[in-house]
A and B are shown apart, each in its own frame.
Chain A
Amino acid sequence: MTTKVSNIKDELSEILYIKNPKIFVIEWLPFDSNQLRELNKKLDIEKGANKTLLTGLIDQSPDVPIFTSKGKHTKVMVKDFVLDSFVNLDAVIDLPEEEGIVQIEEMAIFISKSGFVVYSLNLREIEGQNSFMSLDKLSRVVADLSQDSSMVIDSLLTEFQRNFLEIIFGNPMHRPKTICYIGEDINIKYADVKEYCDGEDCEIEISQLIGEGHLPYQVESNIFFKGTRGTLVVVDNFTEKNEYQITFWGIQHAISTFVDCFMSRIWELYDQSNNIKTLVEDAVKGNTEALNRVQEQITLLTSTISLVSQIQEFLKDSTFDLLQIYQENNIADMNDFYDVEKGLAISRERVKEADKIINGLLTELEGIRNYISTLSEMQMRKMNKAMTRNTKSMNQVLQANTRTGEAIDMIELILAGSIILEVFAFAVGEYAKDDTFFGGLLNEYGTMVMFIISIVCWIGIVVYLRWSKSRMERKALKDFTINMTLNQTINVEKLSDYMEDKEILTKHVEYDKNNVIISYVWDIGKDPDLKDLDIDHVSITYNETNSLLLSIEIETGEVDTDQQKMIEQILDDMKSSGVLES
């Protein structure tokens, strides 16, 4: 006997009482033969599990000989099973309650490979009431059972199933369940069941249990109410037919509730895909942070949709199986008040129709993913181009520095020479007698001739050095780059032949998912056909996969040259080699 203890803060106005209530808590979970086999392994079913304690904990330290648990366990015993079909368990729940609250909670758990789970129990006593029990108190027992059944089954589920529940419900402990109440008698008896729907106390108490807007039904003295959250039944003789009808209605209702939650999740995913589109717009405007976030979110969303698709497959199989089972058994009664077949058929149709949305979402995400890849490639290519240009410019600056340094060195030498020349001139200013031809000249004109020769040589050397220095500097600093985007079809084989004759300086190959982009840079100075052009280097970029010449770039030291003409000459050369189509 339990004591009359509760923590209810209000004086309850209890109107309706039912006798010896049975309670069925029903829910749909993603089960199939494989999941059921995993469960059987966990239960050690083939060895005949006897009151095994089960926990949802996972052994995270396989190398450690002991582990600690928090003391929330379920004691289960296998009552009955058919391998790969169902298992019937007897579970004793031992969870800590508030001081003074005594709960001796034992229930049967029926788990089917079709996905539904039925937690069923006979309520023996609520706070000293052990025959007729008030609906007000029953609602409190059921609130407790709903939570405890989630905890019990959690220790029996695989991580795979827990993931599914998390995807659909967020926190899997808070998931809706269908409740069926079955009593043998009721304290207030009306001749017509509709009298319970009085809009006042009786109706309010029934609504508390099974939800508002419930439908009544009557077969002689047996009464049935069907609501949005469950069903309340008062039958003096609870036949197997009644049990079948009520349980199957509960299963159908539980699937329908799960499908509601499933569809809500799909609509949420649809909203998330719209958020991604907004991010894509930002990425197009050049926001690289948005580009990174889009890629992350697409990956996350695709993985969630993939899990949702798997759940959909479980639902499809389950609704198909259940409809078949129900039709084969053909045990409908009560003028089909519970309308199980129709309910199952509707759920099956809804699950099938979810295909359209899921496929649409996946296609849309694939499209966004491709678009984002192209966007990333474009950005990479731009960066690559900018880096190549920077490297080239740096090389040119380096070369210019070297050449300028060399020129200064030479000038210093010549200046030194000219000083020597001057010294020499001063030195030969002394008179000397010589009988040779030059000596004669010297004898005749003397120092004057030597001075003139020195001056002429000096001027000649200085002029030559100034000219070569200026040429070197011009070559070093005044390189111009001309770039033209072409997008013309080429013969790739002919291009390979064409490049064989060239003195290639660099070759750059870029691979992506669908394309191979190749760039060549060659020195034109040694090109027999083009060496007359005032061009230093030529660079071409082409798409080998699409046989498309993307761009051509030339470097020249002459700013006044006709640049268009230069490019045309190179293109003509390529045409004559069969690289470009005429």
Chain B
Amino acid sequence: MTWLAWRQARAQTLIALSAVLVVAIVAFADGRTSTMLRMWLSVLVIVVPGLLGAFWGAPLVAAELESGSFRLAWTQDVSRVRWLALRLTVSGLAATAVAGLLSWVVTWWAGPLDHAGLDQFGSFDSRDIGPAGYAAFAFVLGVLCGVLLRRTVPAMAATLVGFTAARVAFRLLARPVLLPPVSAALPLDPATTGYGSSGFLPIAPPPGLQPAAPSLPDAWVTSIGIVNGKGDGLTGSVLTANCPDIGHGGGGGIVNPLANGSSHVPASQGVADTMHDCVARIAATYHEVVTYQPASRYWPLQWEELAVFVAAALLLAVACAWRVRRIG
């Protein structure tokens, strides 16, 4: 029986493994210095689990329902749930192995550049063991979409949408607090604190003071805030009361972000002095609070990420079995 499940997953698995091999050869042949190649390989590791879910998971049951071959497969002496469980296991392990192997190759290749970057959390999503968990999850999600929608193409689309949503939601909402972040208080430095807003339109927050991030090599800074002794945040009214001119008048700017060399225009001395005085007044009662995941949390977070996505895959597998049993 395992032979049969493997027979039905064999061709696609061998093709995918060959593709990983080609990627490895191309990457190492190119040397290990290109940051552009590093970026594309990271993108590859991030999208491959979703593609495995859409192209392997979604058709697993949906294609059989469409072609009618489920009438052959589900009327044998082996029950349809047992057969599904076996196919989920074999193809799911294949998908997990392909994504895990690709991630391992890319992690190995990018090692020197990653170490030099001192930003291990910047490539957290596309290195080490996490991607294997994403692939297991995406695959079973694809199977479930196929079982629910019963048609391959809509199931593939739903898989991509669902997988992306799950990943983004987990990244934004769960990962930063999966382990309680460490927080550190430091004085507000008038020399390195600026004014402005960071974020994407239309959800960019209103402009405010922007303290520089502290030097925490390989740590993941999850938030930077300004609070007073009682823990209250710096409000806009406190800011304008201390610095009536802030946000008005000329500041620095970026003339041409695409030009090489110095394209940053410093603010005039007068504006810089005003800003410095303003921050110094606020720093008398307010300080900077940074929350972060220390560098040593990298591996615990990788393992937790893997565990969470594999556990989710197992839950979805149970849902698949439950639904398949009830078809008809």
The answer to whether A and B belong to the same complex is no
